A and B are shown apart, each in its own frame.
Chain A
Amino acid sequence: MTVLAVAQRRAGTAFQRQGALAVLAVVVLIAFGAFPNFRSLDNAATILVAAVPPMLIALGMTFVIITGGIDLSVGSLYVLGGVLAAWASQYGLLAAIAVPLAVCGAIGLLNGVLIAYTGMAPFIVTLAALLGARGLMRAVSDEGSTTYIVQNDAFHALGTGSLLGIGNQVWLVAIIVLLGMVVLSRTRFGNAVYAVGGSEDAAALMGVAVRRTRIGVYVLSGLLAGLAGTINAAKLGSGVTVLGAGMELDAIAAVVIGGTLLTGGAGTIAGTVAGVLLLGVIQNLINQVGDLNSNWQQVISGAFLALVVVAQTYLVRLRRT
């Protein structure tokens, strides 16, 4: 192998691991120069707060995708979680948090059990869960006609308060993301997640509890999506029934941009964080350009996704040869 080939391989690996971070840095630098309004602390806070729900959802999605699966139900679970949190807030702070987490976790469990025990494709099981959770949300909200208002001040304060000038929810997400990193890279469960995605058969023969691992990641994904909805309800003060369509695909996009392989077996949470922030910064910049139609955001996100994934594919290929 030539020195050049080694260098190329290293560059490929580095891009796959840190590519999203590098692009994020470049975009932020350009934005600093080009948009005066981007530079304010307020704006940074806006970006971070907006990134809270997608960050949580993408975090769960990262675990799922590393096992080689996919979870399409998270958008519905996000909305369901918000509606349930607002509805349950009449019974106190604890209920407002516990009810959505319990329900969304249970749906995640159902996804996991069906996928692990019946061998049905994750794509189709979670697609059914997407429909089922949406149906449940509508059933809870009188076919979407009732918007529950958060009736617990402590719960509302959780979503609107701040600590050291940074919103509570941002702190919370930061802690959860750090926890996620530790779990994925430093625990036996984390190793099992990589093993199942790397080669399910080999993992089973090596004594990894494949089914339990699979179930675990879908429960985690369901819980995080429900939590994202709960936090959003606390922030908005109500359970909004119309958001969330397409959230699952945004989350997948962020995870993929962050360098996690959709085929499973490799990926990092740091990459996912960069992917989420990158999409958030782009949206923010589009909002800065006043006369630009906000629909451009979708167009740019889509183009960006294609670009990153194509680049990734070529670099991975480069590394293999």
Chain B
Amino acid sequence: MTTLALTTPHRADWLPKYGVYIAIAALVVYNAAFTPYFLTVSNLRIQLIQVAPIIIVALGMALVIGTEGIDLSVGAVMALAAALIPLYLGYGVIAAVIVSLLAGVAVGLINGALVAKVGLQPIVATLALFVGGRGLAVVISDGQLKDIRNADLIYLGSGDLLGIPVLVWTAALAILVVAFTVRRTVFGRRLLAIGGNRPAAELAGLPVQRVLITVYVLCAVLAAIAGLLSVGRIQSSDASSIGLLIELSAITAVVVGGTPLTGGRVRVLGTVAGAVLMQLVIATMIKNNLPPSTTEMVQAAIILVAVYAARERKTR
């Protein structure tokens, strides 16, 4: 059987690998040709600002999915972070940011402990905080929308640095950090090994529980960052609407970007491209006066095509 192993041809997997980039290129070309004002600075700026929070959340989601997990609670974490901001803004923006990041750490620890220590399936473990987290956020904020007037926070969400929005800088930094983590660090390698075969990783002496908990904490902290930046962007805190259904957008971005749901692999740039592609699709449809209903149905079709192309053939 040795001959079999040496000569097995690798199936053509260009579609899941490069399909998303080809689709982006096609959409850009189409819009440049047919959509007025598409290639203007102001339009690109708007698109980037809109996609940045999704990218930040999707990066964390990609890490979790790399461990064969899923995190449904990211939207709830954004809401919690948003609800806490106005309460602590009185102590300065740094205190408020720290508190909301700590909320992310707390949620991540709970999710991680439920998955790693108790051994719950990730979808159930994070479902609990999906259900309860946003409720808690609304309770904290008394169900009220609060305007934010703190200049520092507004700068984080709406300001510019060197002509580029701070929000976009933050997303770019997050991409670099996550890509570096996955490719170059011990933690990243362990994460992929755990996603690839958890019992084997355990027997190989890897600190599986610690790695898993860290992954969920990272994901929740990234979501908290997205939450507080969103507050700064829309200049108000509304726990009942911030980050609503973002878990779906994030999972979509990861999946469309070619990361398999079966774990063991993380495509960081693919995830970013996945988020950008979905943003472009929505933008293109809006500019062509197609209603949101059509957009949603097209999104559904894209998800199916992406997953169909990337599905692993049953080898075991």
Contacts and interface: CB of A to CB of B under 8 A. Distances in A.
A118 B123 CA distance: 22
B292 interface: yes
Contacts of A274: none
A262 B128 CA distance: 14
Contact of B128 (A114, A263, A305): A305
B293 A143 contact: yes
Interface stretch (A31-39, A41-49, A129-137, A171-179): A129-137
B133 A131 contact: no
Interface string A218-249: 00000000000000000000000000011001
B121 A263 contact: yes
B127 to A, nearest CB: 6
A128 B251 CA distance: 11
Contacts of B308: 118, 120
B186 interface: no
A146 to B, nearest CB: 12
Contacts of B149: none
Interface string A83-119: 0000000000000000000000000000000100011
Given A298-B135, A305-B127, A131 B293 contact: no
A135 B296 contact: yes
Interface in B131-182: 131-136, 138-139, 142-143
Interface stretch (B37-45, B55-63, B219-227, B298-306): B298-306
A84 to B, nearest CB: 14
A192 interface: no
Contact of A310 (B120, B135, B296): B120
Contacts of B125: 306, 309
A293 B134 CA distance: 13
A124 B121 contact: no
B98 interface: no
A128 B118 CA distance: 30
B123 A70 contact: yes
A310 B134 CA distance: 21
B24 interface: no
A135 B294 contact: yes
A143 B139 contact: no
Contacts of B184: none
B136 to A, nearest CB: 5
Interface stretch (A22-30, A154-162, A250-258, A265-273): A250-258
B251 A127 contact: yes
Interface in B217-262: 244-245, 248, 251-252, 255, 261
A131 B131 contact: no
B300 A131 contact: yes
B261 A136 contact: no
Contacts of B245: 245
23 contacts: A125-B307, A127-B251, A128-B299, A131-B297, A132-B301, A138-B291, A138-B293, A143-B292, A249-B130, A262-B123, A262-B124, A293-B139, A295-B136, A295-B143, A298-B134, A298-B136, A302-B129, A302-B132, A305-B132, A309-B124, A310-B114, A313-B119, A313-B120
Interface of B: 70, 72, 114, 118-121, 123-125, 127-136, 138-139, 142-143, 244-245, 248, 251-252, 255, 261, 291-297, 299-301, 303-304, 307-308, 311, 314
Give 10 closest A-B pairs by Cβ, nearest first: A302-B132, A298-B135, A135-B296, A138-B293, A132-B300, A135-B297, A139-B293, A302-B131, A306-B128, A128-B300
